[in-house]
């Protein structure tokens, strides 16, 4: 039986004064082996905006504030035996507190990259989200 992953999600491009981007490598089945922006599923009863702030804090230890929405995306496919059909919304956020630290067991690694050093193995539309951000900044 194939597992399914679907619904609304939120992702964050976090502003750092050093022209770097924070990416995480997840150990979860659908994202295993890929670098991704911090973020995750929108829980019932919360907005996408609330979800991105919560997910960034839960994954990275950083408290953030939304600057603006980058865009809305749609992902459909199958990876590692998981069928996915979800709708990520990407936000540009700034740090208002905390410090970077891996907060969840599912995260294998967390790292700051220069924009010109972004890894090739990005999770799905994350490369499009980053390109859209760079195009509009």
Name the CA dihedral angle for 32, 98, 21, 4, rounded to a multiple of 10 degrees. 30
Q: Which residues are catalytic?
A: 109
CA distance 40 to 59: 9
Strand partners, 13: 92
The Cβ-side half-sphere exposure at 29, using a 13 Å CA radius, reads: 11
Closest CA to 82 of 18, 26, 17: 26
CA distance 37 to 55: 11
């Amino acid at each position: 039986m194939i597992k399914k992953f679907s619904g609304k999600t939120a992702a964050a491009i976090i502003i750092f004064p050093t022209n770097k981007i924070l990416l995480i490598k997840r150990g979860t089945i659908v994202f295993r082996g890929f670098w991704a922006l911090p973020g995750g599923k929108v829980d019932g009863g919360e907005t996408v905006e609330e979800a991105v702030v919560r997910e960034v804090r839960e994954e990275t230890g950083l408290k953030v504030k939304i600057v603006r929405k980058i865009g809305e995306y749609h992902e459909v496919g199958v990876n590692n035996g998981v069928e996915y059909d979800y709708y990520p919304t990407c936000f540009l956020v700034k740090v208002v507190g905390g410090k970077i630290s891996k907060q969840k067991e599912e995260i294998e690694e967390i790292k700051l990259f220069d924009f010109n050093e972004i890894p090739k193995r990005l999770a799905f539309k994350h490369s499009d989200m980053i390109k859209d951000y760079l195009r509009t900044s």
